[in-house]
């Protein structure tokens, strides 16, 4: 049977992994897709470079537009990354009537509204399963598997590099920069690793998840974003003593007031499934009104796990070209003219429980002053511990867990606590979620 010919833009970690998996599983994939699939043309930055895959039989070029414009190709796979050249290539592919598969969450989160509109006009599809949580089929789960539900909330560990760094630091006491370097060597990190560390990559992914969960346009600039770079080993230890682990979560939640989209370190009960997700693994918990809580777990980054998702999208598209799938699902799973503009909440409009660490001078009455500020603002305390002074220090850490309160009110309390004479420095504040 005549193979379906596809083109790849980029042959790095994910591009190389995609070629390898497609070559290794070609027979099984052909049985599933209804036709063999072959990479015949690929764009690379430099022809002379060593690669992780065998490129025999693939025409290589340094001009990615050559691949996009190749009339023999039915679909192209964009694996270069970023929003510059990648966007030009994807829009050109669409204008030429080609379907596109991409792993580029930055592109979808930041330019997806424009790209989806162009694709719909042209009658082609843009698939992006690999862009969120790597190998976990979370887009399909939300868009297809849970489509009868009203999604109440979802919370996920959606950056492999960040979770790998946090796990290695906590379990092995390793240095932040040392673990980040390893994540880069393993092919987990973004081209600019501050995207991983400062939560930008997770915010890209959360933008996409919120859009397909709630049927809203992609609004990356509305995601509240905090990274992991300020988490101290001390807070990891104190959280552990209280029965929590600190995880970097992306959370989307729907309430009467509107929709929350936020990415930040979060105290999660150690007994919760998300608390047990370590290393490069990702996981997303989704609560739907009919199904209840569901949980999706798997590798969030790396060559072959990501290739697994890229190729699943390629296979889906080939199935629909072959008439094996009745129709292609809409880009967000909501009909294009049905996207709502729900009220997106700012971070001070959300409510959460909080972990607070307050550094105070070891004097009588300090704890009472802090408690009275919280009491006056009607913020109730779930737990409080006062630690011994650290060696050579006159200050002691006061650790507090609050019940759920509006962030705005907590900010007022923090401002008043920081103004107390025996309190030094800023109060450390980490949000806490019981995920129920």
Ligand X SMILES: NC(=O)c1ccc[n+]([C@@H]2O[C@H](COP(=O)([O-])OP(=O)(O)OC[C@H]3O[C@@H](n4cnc5c(N)ncnc54)[C@H](O)[C@@H]3O)[C@@H](O)[C@H]2O)c1
Per CB under 6 A, residues contacting ligand HSE are 134, 159-161, 188-190, 196, 201, 300-301
Residue 173 in marked binding region = no
- Closest to ligand HSE by CB, 112 vs 160, is 160
Position among 211, 282, 287, 306 found at the interface with ligand X (CB under 6 A): 306
Largest CA distance in the chain: 83
User: What residues contact residue 82 under an 8 Å CB cut-off, 6+ apart?
Assistant: 104, 106, 107, 191
Catalytic residue among 205, 222, 230, 276: 205
Q: Are 348 and 341 in contact (CB under 8 A)?
A: no
Q: Is 246 helix (H, G, I), strand (E, B) or coil?
A: strand
* DSSP, res 45: S
Residue 400 C-beta-side C-alpha neighbours within 13 Å: 27
Q: Choose the contact partner of 129 out of Na ion, ligand HSE, ligand X, none; CB within 5 to 8 A by kind.
A: Na ion
Separation of alpha carbons 221 and 237, rounded Å: 33
Separation of alpha carbons 16 and 431, rounded Å: 39
Binding mask 111-150 for ligand X (x = CB under 6 A): -------------------xx--x----------------
- Closest to ligand X by CB, 272 vs 306, is 306
Q: Catalytic annotation on 205?
A: yes
Interface stretch with ligand X, choices 9-17, 343-351, 352-360, 418-426 (CB under 6 A): 9-17
- Closest to ligand X by CB, 62 vs 418, is 62
Separation of alpha carbons 59 and 67, rounded Å: 9
The DSSP line for 138-186 is: HHHIIIIITTTSPEEEEEEE--HHHHHHHHHHHHH---HHHHHHHHHHT
Task: Check residue 263 for interaction with ligand X (CB under 6 A).
Answer: no
* DSSP, res 342: P
Binding mask 353-382 for ligand X (x = CB under 6 A): ------------------------------
Q: Is 335 exposed, middle or buried (0-12, 13-18, 19+ CB in 10 A)?
A: exposed
Measured in whole angstroms, the distance separating CA 26 from the mean position of its chain's CA atoms is: 30
Q: How far is the CB of 73 from Na ion (least distance, A)?
A: 24
Q: Choose the contact partner of 196 out of ligand HSE, ligand X, Na ion, none; CB within 5 to 8 A by kind.
A: ligand HSE
Q: Choose the contact partner of 167 out of ligand HSE, Na ion, ligand X, none; CB within 5 to 8 A by kind.
A: none
Q: Choose the contact partner of 161 out of Na ion, ligand HSE, ligand X, none; CB within 5 to 8 A by kind.
A: ligand HSE
Q: Is 137 helix (H, G, I), strand (E, B) or coil?
A: coil
Task: Check residue 7 for interaction with ligand X (CB under 6 A).
Answer: no
Q: Where are the alpha helices (DSSP H) in 322-351?
A: none
Residue 16 in marked binding region = yes
Residue 306 in marked binding region = no
Tokens representing 134?
């790597």
Name the residue with the smallest CB distance to ligand X.
12
User: What residues contact residue 257 under an 8 Å CB cut-off, 6+ apart?
Assistant: 343, 345, 349
Q: If we measure between CA atoms, which residue out of 277, 246, 250, 280 comes closest to residue 263?
A: 250
Binding mask 128-157 for Na ion (x = CB under 5 A): -x--xx--x---------------------
Position among 7, 10, 137, 250 found at the interface with ligand X (CB under 6 A): 10
Within 276-305, which residues bind ligand X (CB under 6 A)?
Answer: 301-302
Q: Choose the contact partner of 112 out of ligand X, Na ion, ligand HSE, none; CB within 5 to 8 A by kind.
A: none
Residue 10 in marked binding region = yes
Separation of alpha carbons 196 and 164, rounded Å: 11
Q: What phi and psi, each to the nearest 5 degrees, are found at residue 202?
A: -65, -35
Tokens representing 270?
């150690």
Task: Check residue 187 for interaction with ligand X (CB under 6 A).
Answer: yes
Residue 250 in marked binding region = no
User: What residues contact residue 56 under an 8 Å CB cut-off, 6+ apart?
Assistant: none
Residue 14 in marked binding region = yes
Measured in whole angstroms, the distance separating CA 343 from the mean position of its chain's CA atoms is: 22
- The neighbour count for residue 366, using CB atoms within 10 Å, is 20
Interface stretch with Na ion, choices 208-216, 217-225, 306-314, 399-407 (CB under 5 A): 306-314
- Closest to ligand HSE by CB, 8 vs 202, is 202
- Closest to ligand X by CB, 19 vs 37, is 19
- Closest to ligand HSE by CB, 110 vs 407, is 110
Task: Check residue 159 for interaction with ligand X (CB under 6 A).
Answer: no
Tokens representing 420?
């107390």
Positions at the binding site? 9-16, 105, 190
Which residues form the interface with Na ion (CB under 5 A)? 129, 132-133, 136, 309
The residues that are catalytic are 205
């Amino acid at each position: 049977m005549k193979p379906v010919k596809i083109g790849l833009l980029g042959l790095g970690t994910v591009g190389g992994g995609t070629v390898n998996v497609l070559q290794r599983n070609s027979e099984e994939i052909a049985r599933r897709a209804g036709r063999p699939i072959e990479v015949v043309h690929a764009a690379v930055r430099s022809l002379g470079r060593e690669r992780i895959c065998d490129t025999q039989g693939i025409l290589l070029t340094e001009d990615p537009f050559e691949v996009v414009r190749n009339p023999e190709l039915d679909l192209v796979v964009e694996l270069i990354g970023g929003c510059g050249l990648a966007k030009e290539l994807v829009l050109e592919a669409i204008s030429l009537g080609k379907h596109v598969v991409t792993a580029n969450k930055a592109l979808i989160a930041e330019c997806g509204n424009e790209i989806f509109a162009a694709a719909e006009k042209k009658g082609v599809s843009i698939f992006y399963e690999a862009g969120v949580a790597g190998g976990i089929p979370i887009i399909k789960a939300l868009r297809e598997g849970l489509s009868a539900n009203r999604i109440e909330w979802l919370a996920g560990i959606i950056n492999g590099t960040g979770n790998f760094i946090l796990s290695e630091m906590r379990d092995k006491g390793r240095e932040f920069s040392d673990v980040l370097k390893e994540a880069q060597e393993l092919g987990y990190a973004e081209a600019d690793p501050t995207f991983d560390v400062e939560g930008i990559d997770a915010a890209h992914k959360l933008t996409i998840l919120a859009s397909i969960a709630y049927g809203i346009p992609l609004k990356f600039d509305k995601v509240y974003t905090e990274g992991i770079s300020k988490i101290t080993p001390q807070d990891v230890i104190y959280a552990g003593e209280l029965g929590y682990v600190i995880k970097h979560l992306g959370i989307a939640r729907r309430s009467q007031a509107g929709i929350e989209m936020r990415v930040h370190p979060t105290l999660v009960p150690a007994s919760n499934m998300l608390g047990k997700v370590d290393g490069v693994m990702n996981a997303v918990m989704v609560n739907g009104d009919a199904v209840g809580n569901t949980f999706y777990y798997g590798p969030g980054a790396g060559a072959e796990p990501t290739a697994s998702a890229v190729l699943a999208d390629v296979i889906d598209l080939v199935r629909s070209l072959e008439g094996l799938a009745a129709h292609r699902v809409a880009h967000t799973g909501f009909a294009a003219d049905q996207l709502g503009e729900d009220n997106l909440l700012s971070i001070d409009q959300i409510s959460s429980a909080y972990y607070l660490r307050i550094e105070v001078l070891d004097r009588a009455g300090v704890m009472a002053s802090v408690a009275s500020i919280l009491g006056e603002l009607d913020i109730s305390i779930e737990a409080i511990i006062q630690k011994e002074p650290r060696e050579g220090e006159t200050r002691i850490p006061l650790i507090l867990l609050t019940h759920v309160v509006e962030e705005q009110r907590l900010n007022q309390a923090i401002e008043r606590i920081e103004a107390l004479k025996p309190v030094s420095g800023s109060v450390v504040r980490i949000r806490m979620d019981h995920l129920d």
